């Protein structure tokens, strides 16, 4: 992942003014490792169905079915209508704002 992107995310979401190079590299490496695990778990589900295309439904099923990924259930919910999704996003942002 580009270190500039990690820095910009950190500045937007965290109460920090600077992010050291070593910390930025560590966050990048951890993110890549996480994505490898996550993508691998999704790929297993798709292969079980003897398919090669990944759908949103596969991602949701993986999040629900793999215990170590269940922390993502609020971020990757079941498919819903746009109005419901926008309302959920509004609630999520309000909750995050209250924590700051």
Q: Which runs of consecutive H residues, i.e. helices, occur in 15-81?
A: 21-48, 56-65
Q: What helix, strand, coil percent values describe the chain, rounded to 5?
A: 75, 0, 25
Would you state the pLDDT for residue 14? 63
Which two tokens mark 75?
């971020």
Check: CB of residue 34 under 8 Å from CB of residue 65.
no
Q: What is the tens place of the pLDDT at every residue in 15-65?
A: 777 888 999 999 999 999 999 999 999 999 999 999 999 999 999 999 999
- Report pTM: 0.71
Token look-up 């995310």 returns: 9
Instruction: Pick 95 or 40 by higher pLDDT.
Output: 40
CA distance between the termini of the chain: 26
């Amino acid at each position: 992942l580009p270190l500039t992107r990690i820095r910009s995310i950190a500045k937007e979401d965290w109460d920090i003014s600077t992010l050291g190079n070593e910390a930025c590299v560590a966050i990048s490496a951890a993110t890549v490792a996480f994505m490898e695990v996550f993508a691998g778990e999704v790929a297993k589900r798709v292969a079980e169905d003897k398919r090669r295309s990944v759908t949103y439904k596969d991602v949701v099923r993986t999040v629900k079915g793999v215990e170590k990924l269940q922390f993502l259930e609020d971020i990757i919910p079941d498919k819903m209508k746009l109005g419901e999704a926008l309302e959920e996003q509004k609630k999520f942002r309000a909750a995050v704002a209250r924590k700051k």
